[in-house]
Amino acid sequence: MIANMQMDPCLIEKHAFALVDSLCIDESYPSFLRGKPITLSGLERESHLLPRLVDLKSLSPHEKLQLLNMLDERCLLDETPPICTFFEAEVETKAMENQLATRLLLHDGYGKYLLRFYDPRVWIQLLRLLDSGQKKAIFGSIASWTVCMNGHWLNEKKPSSEDLASWSFSTGQLKKIALIGQVNTVLAITSTQFRGGQLDDFLRSSEKAEFLLERAAQYGISDEASLIEFALHGMTVHSDFHRHPKIKEIISSLDKSTYRDASGMLDDEAWQEIKSGLRQSNGKVMK
């Protein structure tokens, strides 16, 4: 179960390791917080994309204080710091590195891709998609997993169920995991952010965005810009906007234009007509 939590002054003392997102640091980032790159065979050329593991136990008292101050500053600004994932675990650094490396790649039958579980925006989506056995597999020797997202803290304990750890996925799960980036893009554009105490609302919005992206694909929309545009209309106009005759006409002509280009031809008055019509009919539009 995900638990909301406040910034804990003893955060570093309670956790053994942390992960740094390599894409979020530059030359100004403190050297003692850069950690050690997690390596993957066959991805040597993409090493700059992989996370870096920090052994918190090796930090001096002064370095720990610097880290706490940095985290506190980012939280006050509602920002996500580069080092934002913390683990409670009783294993050696090399063992932790090896464990995490085995979970960085996912295979979907067509190829493999990087699973950015160390990004809190991805992690929070994974928690609603993974079952108990899969959570046990990704936790491994980790007893507790803490992340900071938009200045707010979340903690997840390793599942205590009797389910066996399993890192295998159904085709449906893989499709949903592949949509995480687009779901988060839709949420960001609509300014839907996780705030402390509003986790359920955030997850419901995530599921709605995911559903709309899946519905767009069912209609034959395939380019990413149009998929996101469709989902945005469902989030901001009406959940059933695609049932309106004007939108049905656009969908039926996708062989002539992309959804984004065609829907972009509708002016504000047309969108207001769509919204009002659906509200009056409770989403049920007669042909």
Q: Residue 110's pLDDT is what?
A: 75
Residue 112: its H or E element: strand 112-114
Q: Residue 7's pLDDT is what?
A: 60
The per-residue pLDDT for range 218-247, each reduced to its tens digit, is: 999 999 999 999 999 999 999 999 999 999
Tokens 């554009």 -> residue = 189
Residue 287: pLDDT band by 50, 70, 90 thresholds?
very low
Can you tell me the mean pLDDT for 108-136? Answer: 90
Map residue 73 onto helix, strand or coil. helix
Q: Residue 215's pLDDT is what?
A: 97
User: Does the structure show a pLDDT above 90 at 157?
Assistant: yes
Can you tell me the mean pLDDT for 143-164? Answer: 88
The per-residue pLDDT for range 10-29, each reduced to its tens digit, is: 788 999 999 999 988 888 88
* Of residues 247, 184, 183, the one with CA closest to residue 210: 183
For the whole model, what pTM was predicted? 0.88
Q: Residue 195's pLDDT is what?
A: 66
- The values of phi and psi at residue 116, to 5°, are -85, 60
User: Does the structure show a pLDDT above 70 at 274?
Assistant: yes
User: Does the structure show a pLDDT above 90 at 187?
Assistant: yes
User: Does the structure show a pLDDT above 90 at 260?
Assistant: yes
Q: Residue 133's pLDDT is what?
A: 94
CA distances from 74 to 89, 132, 147, 284 (A): 25, 32, 13, 46
Question: 10 Å Cβ neighbour count for 225?
Answer: 12
- pLDDT over 90 for what percent of the chain? 61
Q: Residue 56's pLDDT is what?
A: 95
What's the chain's average pLDDT? 88
User: Does the structure show a pLDDT above 60 at 1?
Assistant: no
Q: Looking at per-residue confidence, does 278 or 50 come out higher?
A: 50
Can you tell me the mean pLDDT for 130-150? Answer: 93
User: Does the structure show a pLDDT above 90 at 183?
Assistant: yes
Q: Residue 6's pLDDT is what?
A: 54
Can you tell me the mean pLDDT for 144-157? Answer: 89
User: Does the structure show a pLDDT above 50 at 286?
Assistant: no
User: Does the structure show a pLDDT above 50 at 282?
Assistant: yes
User: Does the structure show a pLDDT above 60 at 197?
Assistant: no
Can you give the three-state secondary structure of 26-51, one letter per residue?
A: CCCCCHHHCCEECCCCCCHHHHHHCC
Do 251 and 259 touch, CB atoms closer than 8 A? yes
